[in-house]
Amino acid sequence: MTYPVLAEGEFGELVALATRCLGADGGLPLADEPSFLRRRWAAAGVITATVRGADGGLVAAGSVRPSPSDGGSIVTGLVDPAARGRGIGSRLLDWGLTESGRPVTVETESLTAAAEGLYQSRGLRQVFAETVMRIDLTAPPAAAPPGPWPVGAILSGWSDATAERFFAVYEAAFRERPGFPGWTAQEWIGGLAEDDEFRPGWSVLVELPGLGDVGFVTATVGWIDQVGVSPAARGTGLGAALIGESLARMRADGAAEAWLNVNVDNPADRLYRRLGFDDRGRRARFQPNALVR
């Protein structure tokens, strides 16, 4: 095991390692994209550990990077599926925990049962987890399509004129949830509008008579980004109708697939499966028990 900053010549090997891990474990489909990996393995302040096999090939790697949110560190690692069961993952995790600042978060975009057991053995507790889901848009629509829109529903697309209306529904739908970030309208709208992959044409706002704006969906290339329904309109089928509308627009534009992430505690996962999404793995974050409140 060595502890250098990842050399440029090794980065292609890291991408290949991430691809092998993603193929075996599932999880976030972005996890083997070079731009995603550079932010986590080759940015300023990152330190790495690499493990090579007898033939010199990269079989495992770990990284520790600064956490911008709490001033601590984020630890992550990859072990080739063919090299597991030899204690390499344990050694990488122990190295990362030793090298990291405090507080520390252990991050994985492809959680396996073995990894979860390893984290627990080191006194780490899961503090966040999402199921990664995918739908094939080239296949026939689900046998249980979304129900009809409520009577009088008015749909609007994303535009400069409607963006703040989207934000108002976002805030109403999510502000009572734990961990709500409390973004301003400018921050939330800017985060979407400045994303090159944001697709206004796949993003929809719905208004109901007597209630006003009550639901929205936003989408990016290949992704259902967010879906929200205000408390006054829940239980009316709006969530399913909004997703169905966005998926229909994706299909019409030739998209082949769509992904989404849903918190493991969110019962909406049943809705997504009913609409034709299937599970493609889990991503999670762990912290030492002492940090978990």
How high is the pLDDT of residue 293?
47
In angstroms, what CA-CA distances link 160 with 70, 153, 164? 34, 21, 8
Predicted model pTM: 0.91
Average pLDDT, the chain: 93
Q: What mean pLDDT comes out for the span 176-195?
A: 93
**CB neighbours of 2 closer than 8 A, spacing ≥ 6?**
49, 50
Q: What mean pLDDT comes out for the span 129-137?
A: 97
How high is the pLDDT of residue 148?
85
How high is the pLDDT of residue 179?
79
Domains annotated on the chain, with CATH: 8-129+283-291 (3.40.630.30), 139-255 (3.40.630.30)
The angle formed by the CA atoms of residues 63, 116 and 87, to the nearest 5 degrees, is 60
Lowest-confidence pick of 12-21, 139-148, 176-185: 139-148
